[in-house]
Amino acid sequence: MPTQADKADAFAALHQPGNPLVIYNIWDAGSAKTVEAAGAPALATGSNPVATAMGYPDGEMIPLETVLLNVRRIVACISVPLSVDFEGGYALDAASITANTRCLIDAGAIGVNFEDQIVGGTGLHSIATQTARVGAVVAAGAAAGVPLFVNARTDVFLKAPVDQHAAHLPEAIERAQAYAKAGASGFFAPGLTDLALIAALIATTTLPVNLMMSPSAPPAATLAALGAARLSHGPFPWRAQMAALTAGYFAATAHQGKS
């Protein structure tokens, strides 16, 4: 039986530049079991699907206790590693972030997405502030004896219009390098879709790079060829399921009102 540390090591090993780990993000135990049964070697939640599935808005509006309960339920019914979208760690100061992350590890998670936008506020944390926050997440894994995969996410590109992404690339690179020094395991740049910018980012960071498979993203094979190490589908599997549910309802009730 693999230990939690074994699962963390296995999860890290799946991040191979050019042969990326595909994360088809799940939101509860049922979706986790379904995606695992389809052959996924690892799973990850998305904060938006988890919150929305439980009736909350995204942005740390779902209580942390509910997030932890959901993680425990998922871990109890799967055998593959689970990473959790932990947004901003439900705290600002380093000590609270470490404590909250330790609770997540105790619930069974072996990895986290940890973002640099100011949740509930505007803009991003400064590089110095976020570097300390990333270090606090890393410290929680070290204290627990689990090599937690810390996927440091930047919202630089999500916060900027697409035609300004080139101007923001230097900041993204600086953040990737700073987060790496703080002990991050990977770097997540959702919203970045330009091939030349993606190639430049991958070439200038030592961390495995995670990209988002949004409807506007390049094909997975193209991103793999550029050296991506992880491709996340984010909220889009949830949205597809809700669209199918809506379509099914309309199909089921199409006869109503007809003579």
Q: How much is the pLDDT for 1?
A: 87
Among the listed residues 171, 218, 221, 174, the one whose alpha carbon sits nearest the alpha carbon of residue 198: 218
Q: How much is the pLDDT for 257?
A: 65
DSSP 162: G
Q: How much is the pLDDT for 246?
A: 97
On the question of pLDDT at 182 being above 90, the answer is yes
Interval 15-38: pLDDT, tens = 999 999 999 999 999 999 999 999
Domain residue extents for the chain: 4-252
* Least confident span in 134-143, 167-176, 247-256: 247-256
Q: Do 230 and 211 meet the contact criterion of CB atoms below 8 Å apart?
A: yes
Share of the chain above pLDDT 70, in %: 99
DSSP 140: H
Would you give the end-to-end CA distance of the chain in angstroms?
Answer: 61
Interval 111-167: pLDDT, tens = 999 999 999 999 999 999 999 999 999 999 999 999 999 999 999 999 999 999 999
* Protein fold of 4-252: TIM Barrel (3.20.20)
Q: How much is the pLDDT for 258?
A: 67
Interval 193-226: pLDDT, tens = 999 999 999 999 999 999 999 999 999 999 999 9
Determine the average pLDDT of the residues in 68-73.
98
The sign one gets for the Cα dihedral 70, 73, 74, 75 is positive
